[in-house]
Amino acid sequence: MRMSSKIYVAGHRGMVGSAIVRRLQAEGYDNLLLCTRQELDLTDQHAVEAFFASESPEYVFLAAAKVGGIHANDTYPAEFLRDNLAIQTNVIHSAWKHGAKKLLFLGSSCIYPRDCPQPIKEEYLLTGPLEPTNEWYAIAKIAGLKMCQAYRRQYGFDAICAMPTNLYGPGDNYHPENSHVVPALIRRLHEATQSGEAKVLIWGTGKPLREFMHADDLTDALLLLMRDYSSESIVNIGSGQELSIAQLAHMIADVVSFRGELMFDPSKPDGAPRKQLDTTRMEALGWKARIALRDGLAQAWRAWLASESAHAGGDAVSQ
């Protein structure tokens, strides 16, 4: 990518998209195409077609998606499948049709089987059943990466696919019901601290193991892939460190100074028991995560508080 290259970041107001934009701007890229959902509905095939026909971006970061935690996935399966399939299909096809030089598709670690060997290698894709609580989202993401591979094979389109682990950072979704585990815990424990609650109840047993990565670390990897990687093989991107949900909750409690008791509700779903990615392929390209989890959590908490303050009186946590 040249500094003057026309670059489209789909989903630029989300956590990952906004991190990509910050990094591109910091490095001097000054020809970015950025459209809000109101300006361009990516589920609208005709609107996406018209946008690409008019703007002809050279490089596309496909970071737009309908995302959420276990509750959201379980409550809105049709939307998670329908909206993500539509977004991916429209953007990938129009990018190829209108001559984009390269597209980077952002997947998810949930594409892998629920009970596959750990750490998870890229070749474990489609070797077993998915985790039931997020299979709709996972199936959509699998379809997206397969579409990229198909367009590369049939049309020679330089579409590449990155599969990140669980992400967090500035710009995350802090919705009280539909957020992922890190923002959900940050919000819940911060509010409990402010209200002086003695106990906080957390979904699940607290035993599942997860790895978490800051969105800025992911952005480093994505820019490296966009510049230097071209293959139909998907690439895992993870921090290489995992901890239990209970350990995560205690770490966040320490960050926000919650001194009460953490209790776990085993009647609620846990999700997959473990989900650590093998990042050998990514590290061979010269990348490694650098932001320590506790430092990143503290930064994310402060960013959310700043956002809450800036949007006082409005809906400060919607995206």
Ligand-binding site membership of 167 (annotated)? yes
Ligand-binding site membership of 164 (annotated)? yes
Ligand-binding site membership of 270 (annotated)? yes
Q: Where are the beta strands (DSSP E) in the chain?
A: 7-10, 32-33, 59-62, 102-106, 159-164, 166-168, 199-203, 209-214, 235-237, 242-244, 261-265, 274-275
Ligand-binding site membership of 238 (annotated)? no
- Two tokens at 216? 């800025």
Ligand-binding site membership of 11 (annotated)? yes
> Catalytic residue numbers?
137
Ligand-binding site membership of 239 (annotated)? no
Cα–Cα separations (whole angstroms), residue 36 to 41, 80, 158 = 8, 19, 26
The 10 Å Cβ neighbour count of residue 176 is 11
3-state secondary structure of 123: helix
Ligand-binding site membership of 40 (annotated)? no
Ligand-binding site membership of 257 (annotated)? no
3-state secondary structure of 24: helix
Ligand-binding site membership of 106 (annotated)? yes
Quick one: which of 145, 151, 146, 136 has its CA closest to 78? 136
> How do beta strands 7-10 and 59-62 pair?
parallel
The annotated binding site is made up of: 11-17, 106-109, 141, 164-167, 180, 188, 203, 210, 270
List binding-site positions for substrate.
Answer: 188, 203, 210, 270
Binding-site residue positions for NADP(+)? 11-17, 106-109, 141, 164-167, 180
